[in-house]
Structure formats: C-alpha cells, structure tokens
C-alpha cells in the first residue's frame, strides 16, 4: 500500500531494487590492478626486455581466451592450441629475429590451423578456420609489431609512446 501523502510513482520507485552496474567490476580494484600491471610492464620494458616479451605473451593468451569465448557464444570453434602455440612462437621469434621471423611464424600458424581443424571434419570448417586465422592475425601478429618496435635502439620509449597513443585513442 502507498502512503496517501506520497505520490504513487515515488512508492513504485522505492519498491524497485537498486540497479546493478553493468560493468560487473569493482572500479577501485580494477584501477589498482591496471596500475600494477602497467608498472610491471614499464619495469620489464626498461630493464629485462625478455620479461616484457613474456608479459606480452601472457596478455596475448588472455586475449585469445576472451576472443575464443566470444566466438564460442555464436557457435564458432577456434582451434585454440595452434593459436596459443603460435602466439608464443610469433612473439618470441619476432623479438629475437625480426620481421622475417614474424611472417614465417604467422604462415606456420595458418598452416597449423588448417591441418589442426580438418581433424574434426568439414562441417563448419571454413567458418572455424576463418575465425581462428582472424584471431591469430588480430592478437599474435599485431603484437609482433610491438616486438619489432622493441628491437630498435630506442625501442622501449617507442613502445611507451605506442601504448600511450592507443590508450589515449580509447579515452
């Protein structure tokens, strides 16, 4: 029942539960984690660059996991093993040997994906392979360009500028 002195719309609003945030995350904790990861990235970037490569590989694997789950929601199955192995190989090889290694490892990922996926038959083959190669191009191949930038004499500074511009574009 409503109080006669209170409007009906106010009573209805009071009866509704408070709406939850759609983000689903605790903002102060998310900021703290982001600052912590950023600090570790900067520390490794300017000291032990191989650790930065390892950190980038870990980030790529998390990204692959997210993209894989998104595709799974619409019935597309990513060949995860070739993409994970290829992501690690592409990042490390590109940092160590340069652009030719990046192209060779990406080509190997494509061949590996084609052979890996055919084991499940032809049903949905083109759809799954296309999405898997997209995932490999979107994450490991693109991070390869960060590894190429890192190889330069002023590589760490250029990587910081690249990441800063990317973040600024999103703000």
The pLDDT score that the predictor gives to residue 10 is 56
- Domain-by-domain residue ranges, the chain? 60-159
Q: Is-contact 105 90, C-beta < 8 A?
A: yes
Chain centroid offset of residue 71 CA: 14
Angle 49-72/27-46 helices, nearest 10 degrees? 140
Predicted pLDDT at 22: 61
Handedness of CA 164, 61, 144, 155 (dihedral sign): positive
pLDDT at 94: 96
In the chain the first and final C-alpha atoms are separated, in Å, by 47
Copy the structure tokens of residue 13: 């609003």
Which of 147, 124, 139 has its CA nearest to residue 65? 139
Mean pLDDT by 10 residues, the chain (171 residues): 57 57 78 92 94 96 97 96 96 96 97 96 95 96 94 94 89 74
- In degrees rounded to 5, what are phi and psi of residue 50? -65, -30
- State the Cα torsion 80-86-91-92 to the nearest 10°: 130
CA distance 7 to 150: 64
C-alpha to C-alpha distance for 55 and 44, rounded to whole angstroms = 8
pLDDT score, position 92:
96
């Amino acid at each position: 029942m409503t109080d006669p002195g209170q409007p009906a719309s106010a009573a209805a609003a009071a009866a509704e539960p408070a709406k939850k945030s759609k983000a689903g995350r605790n903002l102060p904790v998310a900021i703290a984690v982001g600052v912590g990861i950023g600090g570790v990235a900067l520390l490794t970037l300017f000291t032990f660059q191989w650790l930065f490569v390892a950190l980038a590989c870990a980030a790529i694997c998390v990204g692959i996991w997210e993209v894989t789950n998104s595709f799974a929601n619409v019935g597309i199955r990513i060949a995860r093993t070739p993409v994970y192995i290829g992501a690690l190989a592409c990042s490390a090889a590109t940092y160590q040997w340069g652009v030719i290694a990046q192209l060779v490892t990406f080509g190997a990922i494509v061949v590996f994906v084609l052979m890996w996926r055919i084991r499940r038959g032809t049903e949905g083959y083109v759809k799954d392979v296309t999405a898997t190669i997209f995932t490999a191009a979107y994450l490991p191949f693109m991070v390869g360009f960060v590894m190429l930038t890192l190889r330069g004499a002023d590589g760490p500074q250029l990587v910081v500028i690249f990441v800063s511009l990317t973040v600024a574009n999103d703000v």
